[in-house]
Amino acid sequence: MFTYSHDALFTRKDCDEIVRLSQADTPDSGGLLGGQQHGNIRRARISWMDDGGPAAWVLDRVVGAVAKANRDAFDFDITEFREKLQVAIYDENEEGHYDWHSDIGDGPIAQFRKATIVTQLSAPEAYEGGALEISLGHHTLTASRNQGSATLFASFMLHRVVPVTKGVRCSLTCWSHGPRFR
């Protein structure tokens, strides 16, 4: 099994605080590995949250969820978390989306990604469209839209965020790292 769900990783209040903390930095246009911009592939604004200071509790909770998922479902060789937490904002005004992709790439850090965790920060009634979908080959898994729920999956799996057609969807993403898959 290469997917795992956590129904209530964060409370509604926690989610609002994560969004507030992410606004300390002005969001950038979300690009692809290497900073490339391709609006037909990805349209989102992203902020990177420092994993220390006021946001340390967020990473602590994510690490715990990844450890549990790894024990229960993945059994990957995870040794560290090399990247900051990412908050993505998918807005209807920008036709926010992210087409099919995997999170493993040729980049100096991305090549060591093992598991991806995406947490739903927006309330489900705050937007339409915007579903996180994960390809399981013969069918597609749609992640929970419940605020505070987290979906974990192997970073090599194809996934996407379908276009937001109304409102704004915010999510928190974190990657765990370890030796390359063999």
Q: Is residue 48 situated within a structural domain?
A: yes
Structure tokens at 20: 């507030």
pLDDT at 52: 83
CB 129 within 8 A of CB 164: yes
CATH at 63: 2.60.120.620
Q: Is residue 49 situated within a structural domain?
A: yes
Q: How many domains are contained in the chain?
A: 1
Angle CA(51)–CA(19)–CA(103) in degrees, nearest 5?
60
**Tens of pLDDT along 137-181?**
889 999 999 999 999 999 999 999 999 999 999 999 999 999 988
In 3D space, the residue among 5, 126, 10 whose CA is nearest the CA of residue 69 turns out to be 5
Q: Is residue 182 situated within a structural domain?
A: no
Contacts of 96 (CB under 8 A, 6+ apart): 43, 44, 89, 90, 130, 161, 163, 164, 168, 169
Q: pTM surpassing 0.85?
A: yes
Q: Is residue 71 situated within a structural domain?
A: yes
Of 99 and 27, the structure prediction assigns the larger pLDDT to 99
Residue span of the structural domain in which 57 resides? 3-32+39-177
Within the chain, what is the greatest distance between any pair of CA atoms? 43
In 3D space, the residue among 156, 119, 174 whose CA is nearest the CA of residue 5 turns out to be 119
Strand 159-161: give its sheet, edge to edge: 42-43, 97-101, 159-161, 132-135, 140-142
